Amino acid sequence: MQYTRLVRNLFPLVLLLAIADASASAVIQDLRLEYVDGELQAVITVDGETRPRAFASSELSLVVVDLPDTLLQREFQLPAAPAAGIIQAIRHALGDDGRLRLVFDLQEPARFRVTSVTVDDNFEVHTIYFMPEEGGSTARAERALVARNEPVNVADENFAEKNVSSEPQEELAGEIATQEWSRSVVSYPAVLQLAALAPDPAPTNPRAQEQSGAFVFGQQQRLTTEPTSHKQTKNGGWEAEIERALLETGALTADERPVDSNNHLQLIAGVSRAFDNGFELRLTGRIDGRYQEGAGYGDSSLKADYGESWVRYRADDWRLTAGAQKVVWGRADEISPTDRLSTPDLTRLMLDPRQARRRANPALRFEWFAQEWSLDLVWLPLFREAELPDTESLWHPVDKRRGRIVGLPEDGVLSALVRAGQFNYDAPEDGGGGIRFRRFGQNLDYAFTLQRSRNPMPYFQLDETTREYLLTGDDVPALTGPVIFNSVYPRSWVAGGDFSLAAGAWTFRFEGTWSSDLPVTRENLAYDTVDAWNWVMGAEVFPGDRNFRVTLQLAGNRLGDADDILDRESPLSFNGELEAPFSQNRWRGSLRFNLGLDRSDVYLNPQLIWTDWEPYEFYIGAHFFGGDEVTVGGFYDEQDMVVIGWRGRF
């Protein structure tokens, strides 16, 4: 199979690019996370000389710091992320050129800057300042937190006395190289080349000091919620933010295209405020517009909806949030089996990355943070199903023109029923809930989850009266009543877990779940439910050039009691993303893809993005679909499209 051959060729290529052969001239002695005046700082103390480079990526919400010719002490442990802060985790790996890469996984995009100080010609102190975007959910959290500024897991007990405060002092000898705030709101990669601190020194550390490159997770810092001074906006403490703005026009290219053009408008904006008594308030709204024309299928819509709108109380080691919010569990990209409590946004199908394909749903959430673990309890008092496109939209899962339902084969009887059918989209009101336990280990970060909730994706069930009539052998046109398809959302138990680890320059992730009551359609068109196993294994690597990012995933699921069903019994897919900036970071190229391995199923999304006007970006891209009729790519194979657009957040 051609796609299997592609996978076999792609993995060795990326693996060869990521082979590490480090030779270092500097050693990290200490890395601390501190809060100074409400601002989170990562303070890195290095024995030796290095010239750091930093860049950010919005699609994964991370900040990457590269330290050439640098190692960690053998006994050193990176600190774990502070509870309830913007940093989710800190990872590291050795590059093939002796470069140590530190990756700060963030809860959401943030601005950052870097300062470097040389002290007594022996030590360097590099400080990364993280500033969550105004109005972001963790921006308000950071302002309510201060740290006790205790060194974390310092290899040398006396070394704490040598550490230099992250605030420059007059008596410090050496040169201070300071970079202004990154203009990226970190929506786009932006490489910051810091001023040279010294000429490249000769290697001074023996190869015996080389590290394995495995990511290490240390103890978690304890934070308090004592009030701190922070900047207030002009309107009395309220902060305003445009979370996402989008203008896009697309031209369909297929000969048998249903329409000629497809255009989108999106605006998500909100206000927030943090109070000194531990309370926080967030109010968000959104507008989504769509206009398509051509071939008699023109249609337009403009809809308003609520976004994250909640009230939160934050204590020392726990917080309680009530209101509309996004609860996204799991750690895999694009496909996450444990992410069952969030509400998917399908209005633009898969045109956006996964981070932009979620809606807020009403929830009560309690989070408890301890030294090396956290507990997350969520109750959904109301059920909010996946947000579907309009019935006339290109991306609706039912195509009455062709008599097709996504995921089901093209069948003569079923197609006739779909063309003549009426579809009921009513959903039940009762919600569900779940619990997630996460542990921060020395060499492994893992979590377990148990959920009882409804499947947010609609499944269309043929009305039983119509089905029984068909069993008599009469023709479909002889039906006297309407053909009804009801959307169903069966309640399921979901049990599973996820973990991440690293080896060399690679970060590996895995998620797996068992689910009860997954809906299927039997060959006699009867509705039924079965158990299912879902799993995803993935890897992320920065091969070769320090800004080139590769994310790869293999995903599959297995349905039980599936001998006589129309649905796919055990689909297997390979997906991922390649992304790299170029031309002095004025441009960025990316490719998202999904390839079916058990059946022909193709989705390709190449993009060329101009980022010189940060925080805005202009882009040109394409969306290509293809494959067997029962696959997603095959269902949308007439919707190939070239797009031009603008997006930003400010």
- Res. 13: pLDDT tops 70: no
> What is the per-residue pLDDT for 58?
60
Burial class of 385 by CB neighbour count within 10 A (0 to 12, 13 to 18, 19+): buried
Residues 256 and 185 in one domain: no
Domain count, the chain: 2
> What is the per-residue pLDDT for 104?
85
Mean pLDDT of 546-553: 84
Q: Is 8 among the domain residues?
A: no
* Residue percentage of the chain with pLDDT more than 70: 73
> What is the per-residue pLDDT for 435?
97
Q: Sort strands 26-36 and 39-47 into parallel, antiparallel or unpaired.
A: antiparallel
CATH of the domain at 84: 2.60.40.3500
> What is the per-residue pLDDT for 581?
85
Q: Which of helix, strand or coil describes residue 263?
A: strand
Q: Which of helix, strand or coil describes residue 268?
A: strand
On whether the CB atoms of residues 563 and 587 are closer than 8 A, the answer is: no
Quick: pLDDT tens for 171-193: 222 222 223 333 222 222 222 22
Residues 512 and 620 in one domain: yes
Residue 145: which pLDDT band, with cuts at 50, 70 and 90?
very low
Q: Is 472 among the domain residues?
A: yes
Residue 439: which pLDDT band, with cuts at 50, 70 and 90?
confident
- Tokens 């290109």 sit on residue: 394
CATH of the domain at 431: 2.40.160
**Segment among 41-50, 87-96, 516-525, 595-604 with least mean pLDDT:** 87-96
Residue 641: how many other CB atoms lie within 10 Å: 22
> What is the per-residue pLDDT for 230?
31
Residues 244 and 145 in one domain: no
Residue 93 sits in which domain range?
23-196+210-224
Stronger pLDDT, 467 or 455, i.e. the higher one: 455
- Res. 149: pLDDT tops 50: no
> What is the per-residue pLDDT for 59?
58
DSSP assignments along 269-305, one per residue: EEEEEE-TTSEEEEEEEEEEEEEEESTT--EEEEEEE
- Run of H or E including 414: helix 412-420
Residue 473: partners with Cβ closer than 8 Å, 6 or more residues away = none
Comparing CA positions, the residue from 435, 432, 310 lying closest to residue 360 is 310
Residue 175: how many other CB atoms lie within 10 Å: 12
Residue 100: which pLDDT band, with cuts at 50, 70 and 90?
confident
- Apex CA 439: angle with CA 507 and CA 369, to 5°? 120
Residues 441 and 559 in one domain: yes
How high does pLDDT run on average in the chain? 76
> What is the per-residue pLDDT for 256?
85
Comparing CA positions, the residue from 308, 387, 303 lying closest to residue 345 is 387
Task: State the Cα–Cα distance between residues 148 and 249, nearest whole angstrom.
Answer: 51
Residues 219 and 244 in one domain: no
Mean pLDDT of 8-15: 42
Task: State the Cα–Cα distance between residues 137 and 323, nearest whole angstrom.
Answer: 13
The amino acid that residue 201 corresponds to is P
Residues 299 and 151 in one domain: no
Task: State the Cα–Cα distance between residues 42 and 39, nearest whole angstrom.
Answer: 10
Residues 247 and 217 in one domain: no
Residues 118 and 261 in one domain: no
DSSP assignments along 125-154, one per residue: EEEEEEEEPTT-HHHHHHHT-EE-----S-
Residues 70 and 113 in one domain: yes
Stronger pLDDT, 234 or 313, i.e. the higher one: 313
Residues 174 and 278 in one domain: no
What are the structure tokens assigned to 474, written together?
Answer: 């009469």
Q: Which of helix, strand or coil describes residue 59?
A: coil
Residues 366 and 220 in one domain: no
- Apex CA 575: angle with CA 405 and CA 643, to 5°? 70
Q: Sort strands 587-596 and 601-610 into parallel, antiparallel or unpaired.
A: antiparallel
Comparing CA positions, the residue from 246, 505, 291, 311 lying closest to residue 390 is 291
Residues 250 and 165 in one domain: no
Length of the chain: 650
196-205, 417-426, 497-506, 623-632 — which one is most confidently predicted on average?
623-632
Q: Is 4 among the domain residues?
A: no
Mean pLDDT of 126-148: 53
> What is the per-residue pLDDT for 528?
93
